[in-house]
Amino acid sequence: MDTITILFLIFLSSLLSFPFIIKQHKPLSKPKLPPGSMGWPYIGETFQLYSQPPNIFFSSKQKRYGEIFKTHILGCPCVMLASPEAARFVLVTHSHLFKPTYPKSKEKLIGSSALFFHQGDYHTRIRKLVQTSLSPESIKKLIPDIETQVISSLESWVSIGQVINAFHEMKKFSFNIGILSVFGNLENNYREQLKENYSIIEKGYNSFPTRIPGTAYSKALLARQRIQEIISEIVCKRKEQIKKDLLGHLLNYKNEKGETLSDEEIADNIIGVLFAAQDTTASVLTWILKYLHDDQKLLEAIKTEQMAVYEANDGGKMPLTWSQTKNMPLTHRVILESLRMSSIISFTFREAVVDVIYKGYLIPKGWKVMPLFRNIHHNPEFYINPQSFDPSRFEVSPKPNTFMPFGNGVHSCPGNELAKLNMLILIHHLVTKFRWEVVGTESGVQYSPFPIPLQGLPIRFWRIQ
């Protein structure tokens, strides 16, 4: 027996005489799922979600389980994330681990080639086109047309002479601005056809997804096909023209191989932009009307700021300028606080493409992941008295990743500057030339599916004499 073998046997016997050394080497424990309840088999906690305001469902879960918890809703196992760090992890620093996800029924109504269903090279290329068409350099040229639309809408609300549903009217206004940003000054017959069919799609979007003829979803699919045909007709007329609206950018695009976008890709992305632009902007505008109506002192301060601009423009005879819209600090803070308070986009859906470990918890591949923007926006750690409307809180910038009304990362809303411009222009003309009154004393929130004031905020407008 050689020396090396003898030494090895001596070493082995020493290990066997001290068995506690072996016992110390325990296998590594597997990461566990976040705390929380998965509810009933198959249906999960969907009933609990819909039997109460969603805000209560999510906030009660956070209070019980902390800033990361699991549940099972809408047929999917989900992990909810309610901290700024977690939202950044999913949407920014590790976004490649989480893909955008939507129910297939909704994807069919918008179009599978739409920007927000994708990631990677295709998403990057299309997003760049959308961002270019909605950049400050582009949208500042829209100010005269937006003003025309604002004044026309306000005059029509006054001329009705009776109570109107503010949210419904704001949807019409937002849709017209969306059409303007996509097509420029579109012919009236096309605009009306698009509006009529889009309204049918809206009614089917949140309905039960069955193709049985006569159902809301079936009608929506037919309307979706008609919209694509209308857009194709517009495209045929526009192919020889060079314009810098969104349609122009989509039509003129060529990749490194010289390939252009198909008519289907163009239609899907136009419908996607119109869909993203309408309800969200309309909801925030409706809340702004309510918040200002409920705080007359704040309303007078806004009027003072806007009257200075009005007088500088020769009593409103001259159009607003881009620099003027960028110099309305109090009005801008009101918009930011309205976005925080209302949190129209309460959360966003992602799906884990691999098993992900976050803060020691396992997020399994295929599970939905939902950063909860509203929970973050209403967290007293970041916003003192979060349930009170206080624009002064935006006199200083919020802490990083605590204010995400337009999302965050590569899938954040590319039209946020246009949305804010619409709000600034509407508020300017509203407070300098008109008054409004909320009808009824009943207050509350309803979901359609975005949060809006109860009954869409019944309201009456009149012109200042």
**Domain boundaries defined on the chain:** 29-110+344-377
Give one word for 220, left, alpha or beta, with left for phi > 0 and alpha for psi -120 to 50.
Answer: alpha
Ranges of beta strands (E only) in 134-253 are 164-165
Q: What is the CB-side half-sphere exposure of residue 43 using CA atoms within 13 A?
A: 6
Helix extents (H) in 313-415? 322-325, 329-342, 373-377
Query: Which residues make up each annotated binding site for heme?
Result: 413
Determine whether 262 is exposed, middle or buried from the number of CB atoms within 10 Å of its CB (0-12, 13-18, 19+): exposed
Two structure tokens written together for 454: 């109860």
* SS3 label, residue 47: helix
Record the pTM.
Answer: 0.88
Say if CB 302 and CB 427 are below 8 A apart: yes
Give one word for 403, left, alpha or beta, with left for phi > 0 and alpha for psi -120 to 50.
Answer: beta
In angstroms, how far apart are the furthest CA atoms of the chain?
113
Residue 171, CA distances (Å) to 279, 281, 456 in order: 6, 8, 11
Dihedral angle over CA of 365, 371, 375, 380, nearest 10: 100
Two structure tokens written together for 114: 């739409």
Q: pLDDT of 419-446, one tens digit each?
A: 999 999 999 999 999 999 999 877 888 8
- What CA–CA distance (Å, rounded) separates 198 from 200? 5
Return the pLDDT at 14. Answer: 36
Amino acid at 125: R
Nearest to 280 by CA among 341, 342, 221: 342
Say if CB 357 and CB 31 are below 8 A apart: yes
Q: Which residues pair with 73 in a beta bridge?
A: 76
Cis preceding-peptide flag for 27 (omega within 30 of 0): no
Return the pLDDT at 289. Answer: 97
Amino acid at 194: L
Residue 313, CA distances (Å) to 39, 307, 309, 464 in order: 60, 10, 6, 18
Q: Which CATH number fits domain 29-110+344-377: 3.40.30.10, 3.30.43.20, 3.40.50.620, 1.10.357.140?
A: 3.30.43.20
Helix extents (H) in 295-346? 296-312, 322-325, 329-342
Ranges of beta strands (E only) in 148-188 are 164-165
- What CA–CA distance (Å, rounded) separates 451 from 346? 9
DSSP 96: G
Nearest to 201 by CA among 307, 288, 278: 278
Query: Which residues make up each annotated binding site?
Result: 413
| Cβ within 8 Å of residue 120, ≥6 positions away | none
HEC readout, 14-33: HHHCCCHHHHCCCCCCCCEC
- What CA–CA distance (Å, rounded) separates 48 from 38? 11
Residue 129, CA distances (Å) to 23, 39, 101, 244, 247 in order: 61, 43, 22, 10, 10
First-last CA distance in the chain: 113
Say if CB 445 and CB 287 are below 8 A apart: no
Nearest to 111 by CA among 232, 287, 256, 12: 232
Two structure tokens written together for 255: 């990749």
Q: Which residue has the tokens 């899907």?
A: 268
- What CA–CA distance (Å, rounded) separates 277 from 265? 18
| Cβ within 8 Å of residue 84, ≥6 positions away | 376, 382, 399, 400, 401, 402
Low-confidence ranges of the chain (pLDDT < 70): 1-29, 240-242, 465
